[in-house]
Copies of this chain bind each other. A is one copy, B any other.
Amino acid sequence: MSEFIPSFKDIVEAHNRIRTFIHKTPVLTNQSINQIVQCELYFKCENFQKVGAFKFRGASNAVFSLTPEEASKGVATHSSGNHAAALALAARMRGIPSYIVMPENAPEIKKTAVAGYGAQITFCKPTQQAREETLDKLVQATGATFVHPYNNFRVISGQGTACKELLEEVPNLDIVLSPVGGGGLLSGTSISAKAIKERVIVYGAEPKNADDAHRSFHSGIIQPSVSPKTIADGLLTSLGSMTFEIIRNNVTDILLVDEETIVKAMRLVWERMKIIIEPSSAVPLAAVMLNPHLFRGVKTGIILSGGNVELTKLPF
């Protein structure tokens, strides 16, 4: 294993570092969903995390790991999603500047949220090249530290604290499931799970329509997404070098799910648990619904990744 990959010790350190800044989110269970899927599910509710997503764990670990000198110059990233909001809030909590590159066509609601956390936003054309070039210029001009949304040691260590809390609360899980996009959450989850309970099985859950992690996992070579299109808009990104290595080491399989089952799973959680989750959060439950042979009767932990959804644009 490469020296640059976080160990569980790094996750423990991250947890101690961010403990006072994050919410310790609840673990919920629901009898009627358990009856439907014939298995015992424990949901770690990162939809209740600050900024409404697990991303705040990794972002705050990155921000609070900086030396005072690094910190004084601020942090930067390109993101139109939860990572941008998370980094902006973490930076504000430390009292340092944050610079966020957003595509000019990002939803208004996300621009407003990130601006509301005090970030300095730079807009760019909605291409990967424009995002990277704009970010490079910003970093050169300000000296800010770039915090990658997932392929980052500190970010992965922070994300691993969610599964650590889950297993501390429900120690005897046999399977742990998380969604996989760039792989930061699944990486951190898998490191924690395997360290706390060696024989636990860790699965990633991924939309069929954005199946780069599945293809990469099974071919042994990183295969980027090509114009992915899924309602699970947090899972459009492709694995990075670091997350790919961790996932190959720790994860048993990447389970694929169709769009219809994602919506069905999302609705089931809304209706039965009365909590709001975003489509990406519903992907693991969809995987449970589609693979009864793997989960029947098994104590299974699911990381609900977030709850940021436009209420005026629901899929039901």
Interface residues of A (CB under 8 A from B): 26, 47-48, 52, 267, 270-271, 273-277, 307, 311-312, 314, 316
Question: In the complex the two chains form, what is the Cα distance from A273 to B25 in whole Å?
Answer: 12
A270 proximity list for chain B (CB < 8 A): 276, 311
Excluding A270-B276, A275-B276, 14 further A-B contacts by CB distance (< 8 Å) are A26-B26, A47-B274, A48-B273, A48-B274, A52-B274, A267-B311, A270-B311, A271-B311, A274-B277, A275-B275, A276-B276, A311-B316, A312-B316, A314-B314
CA distance A276 to B48 in the complex (A): 13
| A314 CA / B307 CA spacing, docked (Å) | 17
| Assembled-state Cα–Cα distance A26/B275 (Å) | 13
Chain B residue with minimal CB distance to A109?
B271
In angstroms, how far is the closest chain B Cβ from the Cβ of A41? Answer: 16
Residues of B within 8 A of A307 (CB): 274
Instruction: Determine how many copies of this chain the complex contains.
Output: 2
- Bound state CA distance, A312 and B314, in angstroms? 9
Interfacial chain B residues near A47, Cβ < 8 Å? 274
Is A311's CB under 8 angstroms from B311's CB? no
A277, B273: Cα distance in complex, Å: 11
Q: How far is the CA of A52 from the CA of B314 in the complex (A)?
A: 21
A266–chain B nearest beta-carbon distance, Å:
10
Chain B: minimal CB distance from A46 (Å): 10
A285 vs chain B, min Cβ distance (A): 16
Distance from A24 Cβ to chain B, minimum over Cβ atoms (Å): 13
User: Distance in Å from the Cβ of A262 to the closest Cβ of chain B?
Assistant: 15
A274 CA / B50 CA spacing, docked (Å): 11
Bound Cα distance A316, B312 (Å) = 6
Counting from the closest, the 9 A-B pairs by CB-CB distance are A274-B307, A274-B276, A47-B274, A311-B316, A275-B275, A48-B274, A312-B316, A270-B276, A270-B311
Give complex CA distance A311, B309 in Å: 14
**Pair B275/A274 contact, Cβ less than 8 Å:** yes
Q: How far is the CB of A267 from chain B (nearest CB, A)?
A: 7
A21 to chain B, nearest CB (A): 13
Rounded to whole angstroms, the CA-CA distance of A267 and B309 in the bound complex is 12
Kindly list chain B residues whose C-beta atoms are within 8 Å of the C-beta of A52.
274
How far does the Cβ of A36 sit from chain B's closest Cβ, in whole Å?
A: 12
Q: Which residues of B contact A312 (CB under 8 A)?
A: 316
Question: Within 8 Å CB of A267, what residues of B?
Answer: 311
User: How far does the alpha carbon of A271 sit from the alpha carbon of B270 in the complex, in Å?
Assistant: 13
In the bound assembly, the distance between CA atoms of A277 and B274 in angstroms comes to 7
A52 and chain B: residue at smallest CB distance: B274
Quote the shortest CB–CB distance from A166 to chain B (angstroms).
17
Bound Cα distance A307, B312 (Å): 18
In the complex, what's the smallest C-beta–C-beta distance from A114 to chain B, in angstroms?
15
Expressed in whole angstroms, the Cα–Cα distance for A276 and B311 within the complex equals: 11
Measured between alpha carbons, how far is A273 from B52 in the docked complex, in Å?
A: 9
